[in-house]
Amino acid sequence: MLTALLLIALQDPAPEAGVRLAAPATVTLERAERTVGEILKAVRSQTGLKVEASQLDESKKVTIGWKGSPVLQSLDELCRALGAGQVRSSKDEISLDGSAALPRAVGHGERFRFEVENVQVTTTRRLSGTTRTVNVTLRYDAQPGTDLAQATPGVRLEEALDDRGWSLLGVEMHQHGMGEVPLEDQEDPDVVEFERRHGGAGLGLARMTVAVQAPARDAKAIEYIRCRAALTFPMRNVDGEVPVAELVDGKEFQIGSMTVRVKKFEQKGAEATLEFTYRGGGRSEYGGSMPWLNLVDAEGKTVSQGMSGGGGGDGYKWQYRLKSDAPVAAIQYKATAGRITKVVRFEIRNIPLPGKE
């Protein structure tokens, strides 16, 4: 039942949904010799996606073919067949730069693409001995139609080997990200998270880091890493304001699945106090979904300089320090309601290690 609900949410979300995850676009083309132009025409026709190519000789012929291959993986393989080219994807289009060098190493999973951006080897020398740590930084993209700006990433290393046959999987390898990386897709329609809690790719960082054990001293490359990544998207964005005049004892307002009940609001000069209770809102990686309520003036501009307070189940008390003693016009909230977590398994092979000095 949960799987059925998840598929519905992924393919046909409500109109106000914060994210739309269409089914992965795939390409099927019988293996044969064709021009690059013919191949790109087929990719556009089969996927319905906008694919912009630059610095590319579309009259050049290559022999290639796919059967249900994800579109980003197909285009990476086309570049590899040409010996050059870089694939990039945004929420609106895919771009292919034929003048760029091939990526160092790249892997794919469903609609997602994971490219090795950097490998950092850190050597630490102490009196007790020398240790080495290795971090692989991955840039990730998704096929158009997927807004990664609102995604929260996590990744867990499941298997790794260097080119000398050494396992690079430690006993306690931890994932990058705030929460655990689940085994399967998940959906939580009730959780409410407020804007101040957003991080990761929400800050425009479409990157994640995988830590591996130090390879053999004579290793030249990481033979492969196999990972399980989780990308969590909000189901919808919610925001609103409640005028100060309505902030009286018993006033209730809804934020997703959360109900906030006002007990008292007052302003005294450059200070304001809000007392309230709340229920619902599910639970996030941080624990409960504590309301984060902003104060604005009549023009919708923030007037609070800081907030402190606390409480418990019987009530909370927020005390705000204001920029001036001008009247507060409303409390304002911005949050996401519900979330969908996509679990993606991928492999990246032949990752070069930095050369020694």
What are the two backbone dihedrals, phi and then psi, of residue 76, each rounded to the nearest 5 degrees?
A: -65, -40
Domain membership of residue 78 (yes or no) is: no
Domain membership of residue 212 (yes or no) is: no
Domain membership of residue 190 (yes or no) is: no
> Which residue shows structure tokens 């085994």?
183
- Count CB-CB contacts under 10 A for residue 57: 12
- Torsion angle of alpha carbons 347, 101, 166, 110, nearest 10°? 0
- pLDDT per position as a tens digit, 127-151: 888 888 899 999 999 999 888 888 8
Structural domain range at position 274: 237-336
Indicate if the pLDDT at residue 203 is higher than 50.
Answer: no
- Residue 204 has a pLDDT of 43
Cβ–Cβ under 8 Å, residues 233 and 340? yes
pLDDT class of 19 with cuts at 50, 70, 90: low
**Distance (Å, whole) CA 202 – CA 318:** 26
- Residue 196 has a pLDDT of 56
Closest CA to 292 of 177, 193, 190, 204: 193
**Distance (Å, whole) CA 352 – CA 75:** 22
> Which residue shows structure tokens 């890493």?
225
Domain membership of residue 315 (yes or no) is: yes
pLDDT class of 230 with cuts at 50, 70, 90: very high
Percentage of the residues of the chain whose pLDDT score is greater than 70: 87
Weakest mean pLDDT among 44-48, 56-60, 194-198, 288-292: 194-198
Closest CA to 136 of 348, 345, 356: 348
Domain membership of residue 4 (yes or no) is: no
Give the sheet arrangement for strand 129-142, strand by strand: 106-109, 112-126, 129-142, 207-212
Indicate if the pLDDT at residue 248 is higher than 90.
Answer: yes
Domain membership of residue 275 (yes or no) is: yes
- In one-letter notation, the amino acid at residue 95 is S
Weakest mean pLDDT among 8-12, 36-40, 137-141, 229-233: 8-12
pLDDT class of 313 with cuts at 50, 70, 90: confident
Largest CA-CA distance found in the chain, in angstroms, rounded: 78
Cβ–Cβ under 8 Å, residues 76 and 95? no
- Residue 75 has a pLDDT of 98
Q: What mean pLDDT comes out for the span 108-120? A: 95
Q: What is the number of structural domains in the chain?
A: 1
Q: What mean pLDDT comes out for the span 110-118? A: 95
Domain membership of residue 256 (yes or no) is: yes
Domain membership of residue 253 (yes or no) is: yes
